[in-house]
Amino acid sequence: MSQDSTLPDYKRQSPEVARRFAELKERPVKLDVRSLGKTFDSAKGPVTALNDISFQCHRREMMGVIGASGCGKSTLIRILAGLETPSQGEVLLEGNAVTGPGPDRGMVFQSYTLFPWLTVKKNVMFGLEMTGNSMTAAEREARQWIELVGLSKFENSYPHELSGGMKQRVAIARALANRPKILLMDEPFGALDAQTRASMQAYLLEIWRHIDLTVLFITHDLDEAVYLADRILVLKPNPGEVLEMIEVPVARPRSADQFHDPEFLATKDRLEELIHPKVQTEKIELPIVRMTEVGDDVE
């Protein structure tokens, strides 16, 4: 690690990691978010969900977004997907304004959003056929992505026959089948148990390593954010604003063995500090009357 003791632990980068970030910043900008704002009307008047959000995501970058409840994470990703319209600012994808949903963005939600009446193969083919591919071309393309996520043996199975992790792999394959310019993921593994979640994180990293893919994902899991991301955008709540952009100093390729590395723990501690700042609380004195003699003192 760098010997610069003036830097906090989460900012100290090994020469290898520093080179990686220098190279990342030289890549083309995939996603350019400029002064983004979103205000909703309510019975009590306008409510600002997002205010002056600006950042860039580069080609082949894996970017995480975290923040406390009320910071507008889901609103942000819905705007990026074209499912919400911003009140101010703009979103550019490879220089083109995002004005609505489109096949240039793949979207994976926390719920699996699969069509229960379609097989795995037909689910992955659906978007391909909707964008004008013939059935033969759609089937050929779908099978490539199904194989990539390791589900070739289940291509004729229905969603109810799959585990949660397998369903989410199908959702990822379907999102990638149209070869989007960026993959957007909103808490994609939040509904999974811990073991399956860990497996899905490893699957995502393996997919990302083998294809030209840029990913922006929302998560509330700090371990997941540090494990997956190159950089982490931290939002503060009420209204949602950029609090900090953190460059993750953990070397790639990543593995679960790194969860206890000093740089991993230092980054996680910094995220915890930003999202859940320590506050001074007053000692509460209540007029409690002891109702029985317990014979000991618990404090």
Write out pLDDT tens, residues 226-265.
999 999 999 999 899 999 999 999 999 999 899 999 999 9
CA distances from 80 to 86, 167, 182, 239 (A): 9, 24, 10, 18
What pLDDT score does 299 carry? 55
What pLDDT score does 113 carry? 81
What pLDDT score does 288 carry? 66
What pLDDT score does 43 carry? 87
Cα separation, 155 vs 229, whole angstroms: 30
Cα separation, 230 vs 55, whole angstroms: 14
151 exposed, middle or buried (CB, 10 Å; 0-12, 13-18, 19+)?
buried
Please compute Rg for the chain using Cα positions. 22
Domain boundaries, the chain: 1-104+213-272
Cα separation, 236 vs 282, whole angstroms: 24
User: Which two three-digit tokens encode residue 60?
Assistant: 């082949």
Angle between helices 164-177 and 135-148 (to 10 degrees): 130
At 64, give phi and psi (nearest 5°): -100, 150
Which residues, 6 or more positions from 7, have their beta carbon under 8 angstroms from its beta carbon? none
Is residue 38 within 8 A of residue 72, CB to CB? The reply is: yes
In DSSP terms, which residues pair with 63 in a beta bridge?
Answer: 216, 231
Q: Which residues does the chain have with pLDDT short of 50? A: 1-2
- For residue 14, the tally of other CB atoms under 10 A from its CB is 14
Which residues, 6 or more positions from 253, have their beta carbon under 8 angstroms from its beta carbon? 205, 209
Measuring CA to CA, which residue among 270, 208, 209 is closest to residue 244?
A: 270
**CATH number attached to the domain at 1-104+213-272:** 3.40.50.300
Residue 192 per-residue DSSP state: S
CA distances from 273 to 68, 123, 242, 254 (A): 11, 42, 15, 24
Question: Which amino acid belongs to residue 183?
Answer: L
What pLDDT score does 128 carry? 92
What pLDDT score does 1 carry? 45
What pLDDT score does 281 carry? 56
Distance of CA 241 to the CA centre of its chain: 17
